[in-house]
Amino acid sequence: MLEGKNVNLRVMEEEDLPLVAEWANNPEFGGEYEPLEQISCKEVEKWYDSLGSRERWFIVEKKDGSKIGQIFHSPRGPHFLIGYRLLPSERNKGYCTEAVKIMVDYLFLSGNTVRIQAETSPRNIASQKVLEKAGFKKEGLIRRSIFVRGNWEDGFLYSILREEWKEPKILTKTTS
């Protein structure tokens, strides 16, 4: 468990899969800038079994244990990509910014990675603010990189380098 001030990141376990499927099938959870998908519980189980050690999904939990969203890291060559989604009722409370800061601390503390990146729609202002508040810098536009609701859309590429991350900022402790 990665513990922050207001949220914790807990590694996704098999028992979370029904909730993960429910979230994946709820278009409001992904929001208007994410690809639309519908997935069966069986497919979610297969996907879960196929995850390698460098792709890890976490459940974002509040301090009372309530599950409010997901954040993941996956490999991009020797580096990492991160992504995140929160329940609509829990947005705009600073939780995702904190979850991203915890993830950045974790990735730089746990391995020798030098770069963490994220991609977001130029229309997704909330996501851009999250990344900028967590210390990411905008690198540029990736043209026609994602298919969203019937259209190929451009994305912004953001990254944070190890030398831009000074010290653990928010990860307060880890527990098993």
Ligand X SMILES: CC(C)(COP(=O)(O)OP(=O)(O)OC[C@H]1O[C@@H](n2cnc3c(N)ncnc32)[C@H](O)[C@@H]1OP(=O)(O)O)[C@@H](O)C(=O)NCCC(=O)NCCS
The contact set with ligand X (CB under 6 A) reads 30-31, 33-34, 83-86, 91-97, 120, 124-127, 129-130
Rounded to 10 deg, the angle between the 125-133 and 95-110 helix axes is 50
Q: What are phi and psi of 166, to 5 degrees?
A: -80, -45
**Could you tell me the smallest distance in angstroms from the CB atom of residue 71 to ligand X?**
9
Using the minimum distance from each CB to ligand X, give the nearer residue, 32 or 46: 32
> Closer to ligand X at the Cβ: 126 or 161?
126
Give the span between the Cα atoms of 170 and 167, in whole angstroms.
9
CA distance linking residue 151 with residue 35, whole number of Å: 10
Say if residue 73 is exposed, middle or buried (CB neighbours under 10 Å; 0-12, 13-18, 19+). buried
Tokens 């900028």: give the residue. Answer: 132
DSSP SS3 for 18:
helix
Q: Would you say 94 or 111 has its CB closer to ligand X?
A: 94
Please provide residue 119's backbone torsions phi and psi, each rounded to the nearest 5 degrees. -120, 140
Q: How far is the CB of 8 from ligand X (least distance, A)?
A: 15
Nearer to ligand X, 10 or 93 (CB): 93
* Least distance (Å) between residue 129 CB and ligand X: 4
Q: Which is nearer to ligand X, 127 or 159 (CB)?
A: 127
CB 93, min distance to ligand X, A: 5
Closest approach, Cβ 87 to ligand X, in A, equals 8
CA neighbor of 142 nearest in space, from 156, 125, 158: 156
Q: Which amino acid would we find at residue 145?
A: S
